[in-house]
Every structure is written in structure tokens, then in C-alpha cells.
Chain A
Amino acid sequence: MTDWFSKVAAAFRRNGEFTLGIYGSPNAGKTTLANRICTDWIGKEAGKTSSIPHETRTANVVEHLEMHYNGKRLRMNVVDMPGISSKIDYKVFLKHGLSSEEAIERAKEATRGVIEAIQWLDNVDLALTIFDATKVPFDQVNLVILGNLRAKNIPNIIVANKIDLPKSRPKLVFDAFPDHKSVAISALTGENVEELYRLVAESR
């Protein structure tokens, strides 16, 4: 399986494209951001969003996206990753109205999604690690993602998302990870995404 991921990434690179991976915990806003990027640059959304955790359970690859920033042309493939979590309890899904069978099936798919997202870690060229800025930023999963990206020398931008919400505290995220490039945005409203695009262009 790992070989398949590296073959896909290598094929993208041969076309002069790079792979942009969107990482984070469940419900941080990864798919909302993927939708924002895809709507802005190719005029269509990447995937379905939901308030139920683990809505994205397989990596969703949007190919051949072209971004232009300050005269720079960037060709990329955007991978909206399943949320990474170290635990999956099907009972969480019952609270969202799923039947036991549906909840267990969703949990099984979610575990496979976590494994897939981890396998992709070896094959992205640039990562966006999304934090839900309405929550404290000390979820171990984020430390694992950032630690692995650093160990593999993969450039990364920290994205403090959901600044449209009054409870958001992006400074907490920035203060927790002062050594990283970071930006505060609302993927939902598009607030400050231009700054994110600037950082993406600068990272390539």
C-alpha cells in the first residue's frame, strides 16, 4: 500500500506538480479548507462536509489544480486527508443519530482512514496542518503530525481555522508552535485565505 502512495506522488512530480496534504484532527475544517481552495482555483468543491466526526474517511485527491500568485504559477494536487485520531469509539456516532450498525461501519471506515492519512505522510511535498482555533491546541495528534513532517523535512504551514467564530483564539495556536509558518483564517467565509495562498506560494 505504501508503495502505491509513493507511486502516485512520484507520478504527480513527473508532471511538474506537487502534492499539498491537508492534515489535522477530525472536525478541524480540512474539507472546508479543501473546498475553499478548490472553489477559488478550479470552481468546484472537493468533498462533503459534516458536523459528524470522520466525515472524510478516505483521502480525497483533487488533481491538477493550478494556483497563480504574484506571477507565480503553482501546479498541485490537493489531498484532503481523513482526520487523524488515536482512538475511535463508535458510540460517538450514535450521538449523531446513526444506528449501531451504521456507527460501527463508520468507525471501521474511520480507522482505515487514519491509517491512510498516516501512510500519505511520506508522500506529500507541502502540508497544511489545520487547527480548530476555538479549541486548545495541545491535542497529541497535532504534535505527531508536526513531528513527522519535521522528521521528513516536509515544509508545513500551520492554519488556525474558524476565526469567524467568537470563541476562536488563534494566538494560542501561534504561541504553542512559534517555530512554524502560520496563518489564521476562516475556511468557511474565506477570511484571510489570501495570506494562506501567499505562504503556499512562498513555500514552493
Chain B
Amino acid sequence: MMSPRIDIIPQWVINGLTSQDKIKFIVEKVKQNVILVLEEVLKPEEQADLIRESMLEIDYETFTGIELLTFNKNPTGKGFIRRKNKPNGGSKITIIAPANSVNILRETSSIISLMLKQNREGYTD
């Protein structure tokens, strides 16, 4: 498998897509071993639809689903990043990664760590 690539997509690209097209775009990219960083928080319904579509694409070998990551709102209610009445406390980022290429470490609400899984070739290509 090729080493994963990271694509960063600005809000104006995502906003131009319908929910259905957004999900299609994401699934196609992730199946090509692309880690997507979107400058947008997907709506809860879009996240559920994305999980459902990913389930339909699982082939049990090369694609085993996705890692979907957003920040919850600042749960403590402390600190300057708190944004009242805004989903995700004002955070505007969604990361979607192919599950077979990354491990996720999420021990606190404020840091998401992605670790690339290494294949036998060690992703040196």
C-alpha cells in the first residue's frame, strides 16, 4: 500500500458541495489512502451518513472503514477558546482518515494524536 497522503481542504471548497457530494468526495479520497483535514465541522447527520457510507465500502482487506475526528466543545467551560452556543465550541476542523493506515490516541478532549501505521516497507516510498 502507498504511504498515506494528507490533503487539507479549505472551507470554501467544502461549502460548495451538497451533503451527498461531500460524503462521496470524502469516501473516495479516504479509500485512496488520503487523510483529509477539512476546515469545517461536518453536521451530526453528515457524520452519521459518512459512517453509513463507509460501512458499505468496507472490503475487509484494503479498506476497513474510517477514523472520524472532531473536537467536542470545551467541556470544562473554562479558557478563552470557549464559544457559547456554537457546536464544537467554535472549533472548525474535521479529520477523516483511513482506519487501516492510522491509530488514534485521544486521552483528553483537547488533543487528537494520529499515528501512521507502518507496513512492512515502512512507508519509505
Contact = CB atoms under 8 A, between A and B. Distances in A.
A151 interface: yes
| Residue among B64, B68, B100 with most chain A CB within 10 A | B64
B67 A86 contact: yes
B55 A176 contact: no
B14 interface: no
B44 A115 contact: no
Contact of A175 (B48, B68, B76, B100): B76
B47 A118 contact: no
Contacts of B64: 87-89
B115 interface: no
Interface stretch (A35-43, A72-80, A138-146): A138-146
Contacts of B51: 84, 86, 114, 118, 141, 144
A148 B100 CA distance: 26
Interface stretch (B4-12, B31-39, B106-114): B106-114
Contacts of B100: 89
Interface of B: 43-45, 47-48, 51-52, 54-56, 58, 60, 64-70, 72, 75-77, 87, 99-100, 106-109
Interface of A: 84-90, 104, 107-108, 111-112, 114-115, 118, 121, 136, 138-141, 143-144, 147-148, 150-151, 175-178
